[in-house]
Structure 1
Amino acid sequence: MTMKTLYLTIAATGLGLAFAAPARAQDNAGDRVQVLAVYGEDACPPSTDEEIVVCKRYDESERYRIPRDLRASDSPENRSWTDRVRALETIGKGGIGSCTPTGPGGVTGCTQELIRQAYAERAEGSDIQAGRLVEEARAERLARIDADAAETERLVQEELARRDERERRQAAIAAGEDPDAAVDDTPLPEPQL
């Protein structure tokens, strides 16, 4: 095995390892996600290479209150009297606007019922879409990984250029020529297809 073949083998192995780490990091991007609640102007802890940190920001007045997600309860004891009365008002209701299969025009109230339920679910839902924030943090991490991979590629190319220059100088010395003689660096023409 010649020295040139050995150098090319080592360079190819190093190049493969240089690209394996960012690829592995991209595969594992976002394996560990932490969603935190922060209040007012509190700082959100930064994300690390091993963990994506996403913060749900709430108003300062919510700091010492029971979290909004835990305030709601399906227990009958926790229902307000207004809701209890509203439920009693609809018992036995039929006909137009009732959303029942009985009576004339009973189905006309179903759309209004669905809209009312959708607004109630939205009011009880999370104020911030943590999934969207996680995706943004994941995209930011992938951009950072791509930048690191590009920097690694640049360093590998510089090292290969230095190695080629060393080999050229050694070959010139072995041939008895001046190693500092000007080298024709004109690029080769592009192949015509």
Structure 2
Amino acid sequence: MRTFPLLFSLAALAALPVQPAGAQSEGEKINQLIVYGDDACPASTGDTITVCARKEEQERYRIPEPLRGDPQAPANQAWSNRVKAYETVGATGTNSCSPVGAGGATGCMAKLIESAYAEKEQAGDKRFGKLIAEERAKRLSTIDADAAATQARVEALEAQYDAKLKAERDAEDAKGADAAPLPAPPK
């Protein structure tokens, strides 16, 4: 009966937003969500970019796909990986990642990095970095139009203010001309 809490905790972890390193620039926040079925994706607001990855409704309460099954099972290994394994049989010494020979451990980090990149390339999961870039591009495409509209509103308000000041000055000049008549020229 211990599997149920484990499954629920894995499902909860899968629902947490993932923040790729270096994805945020100063001042903007990125909200990454996974929505299911026909659920609505919340709109981006102010300085928050909301990016939604949509999955099918039947995936809502399932264990996340990367955690299902055994990726290391022989049935899940590609033939090219099996052939590469035969290439390194008997390799010893520097950059071999083997416990035999001097410097055998020097190749282990390279092997680990290669396997991580290969796993990342094979992952069918949603790539939030790409979705964030698309959302940024969508936002940047409207900035020029928004700036032009704001500038037009400011210029219209300035024109109204100038017209109001001119009308007030003209009214004061007219009032001053009626109140004190000009003296007659000397003869």
Could you tell me the TM-score, scaled by structure 2's length?
0.49
Q: TM-score, normalised by structure 1?
A: 0.47
Structure of higher RCO (CA pairs closer than 8 Å, 6+ residues apart): 1
